[in-house]
Amino acid sequence: MKTLRKIIAVLCVCAALLSLVACQSGEKKKSIVIWTSGEDYKNEYYLTSLKEKFPEYDFTLEYMNSSTIAAKVTEEGNNCSADIICSEEYGYLYKCEEYLAELKDFDFSPFLPEIVPDNHKFTPELKNGGCIIINPDVLAAKGLKAPESYQDLLDLAYKGLISMPSPASSGTGYMFLRQLVNEWGEEEAFAYFEKFSENVLQYTSSGSGPVNALKQGEVAVGLGMTSQAVVEINEGVNLQILFFEEGSPYSMYGNAVLAKSASRPEVMEAFNYLATELCRGDNEKYFPDQIYKDFAPKVEGFPTNIHYGNMANDTLAEKERLLSKWSFS
């Protein structure tokens, strides 16, 4: 009888242990939601790396254009589903700063001091430069020469053959507007875009739109991101990069944590990895313009000695003022 009771007791213990293991194995992973305006190749790199580094967490990465991210954060506030914002233009991050966590424990010292935000509510991620990208095959089929200036793009021969991101929705689009306002003056720049718009097939909602249209042979000329054009060229797509006399426009992008999520250790753990290791990897793989004091990587096919244009007065207030006048897309 004692033996039977012992056997039953052992079986009960085993059952309890099996039940505990089953509960643990079925335990729901802690979820982390990331909103990003980054490109597909970059998003794949970030998401794959995060999943490999933290298999115990469930990552969701949602793409939105820059303006949509800022609008959702400011409209939804602490009720928004995002925990981390990634690859967001500085101006929009300042617009959201009320809902962003101050990163008191983050080490900003490796970055160039001039690109570190004073409020320490987001980390530098990349310098996004723009260029003129052409599809030589489409130009040849249309009997057109490559443009050599912005004025060339007003030629009606290019009608329906140009793509540009909309400044109203894309940080990439806005940097072209900002630069030409600085270079030519506001009145002349807006007069230019009024004529230029007649030749534009489509103002795209995201910065990647023009390169995608070029790849498909839908347009001959695109105003887009240098980094994205380089990626496509390195993969064998027949595109070429040009810079006009005004030089390359550019904008800064960063990463942030929503204040509502900053108390969650798993969110901060993932963010710190993303904003340090993955950011450095991104700089080395895709966006080699220098953002670190001691690190200036080279990317195959990326133009060297780029002349960057005049991006003065690139403030949130000035951006909102200029966009209130933009009516072409």
Domain boundaries of the chain, sorted by first residue: 30-127+251-285, 128-250+306-325
SS3 labels along the chain: CHHHHHHHHHHHHHHHHHHHHHHHHCCCCEEEEEEECCCHHHHHHHHHHHHHHCCCEEEEEEECCHHHHHHHHHHHHHHCCCCEEEEEEHHHHHHCHHHECCCCCCCCCCECHHHCCCCCCCEEEEEEEEEEEECHHHHHHCCCCCCCCCHHHHCHHHCCCEEEECCCCCHHHHHHHHHHHHHHCHHHHHHHHHHHHHHEEEEECCCCHHHHHHHCCCCCEEEEEHHHHHHHHHCCCCCEEECCCCCECEEEEEEEEEHHHCCCHHHHHHHHHHHHHHHHHHHHHCCCCCCECCECCCCCCCCCCCCECCCCCCCHHHHHHHHHHCCCC
Q: Is the pLDDT of residue 12 over 70?
A: no
What is the structure's pLDDT at 25? Answer: 46
The per-residue pLDDT for 29 is 86
**Average pLDDT for 251-267:** 97
Residue 131 has pLDDT above 90, yes or no: yes
pLDDT at 256: 98
Q: According to the model, what pLDDT value does residue 24 have?
A: 47
Average pLDDT over every residue of 277-281? 97
pTM (2 decimals)?
0.82
The second-level CATH assignment, the architecture, of 128-250+306-325 is 3-Layer(aba) Sandwich (3.40)
Residues 43-74 pLDDT 10s: 999 999 999 999 999 999 999 988 899 999 99
Average pLDDT over the chain, rounded to an integer: 91
**Percent of all residues in the chain with a pLDDT value above 90, rounded to a whole number:** 84
The answer on pLDDT for 227 being more than 50 is yes
CATH (residue range 30-127+251-285): 3.40.190.10
- Is the pLDDT at 129 greater than 60, yes or no? yes
Q: What is the pLDDT of residue 306?
A: 94
Predicted pLDDT at 26: 53
The closest of 59, 90, 64, 60 to 75, measured between CA atoms, is 64
Looking at residue 186, what is its pLDDT? 97
Instruction: Evaluate whether 30-127+251-285 and 128-250+306-325 have a shared fold.
Output: yes
Q: Mean pLDDT, to the nearest integer, of 156-165?
A: 98
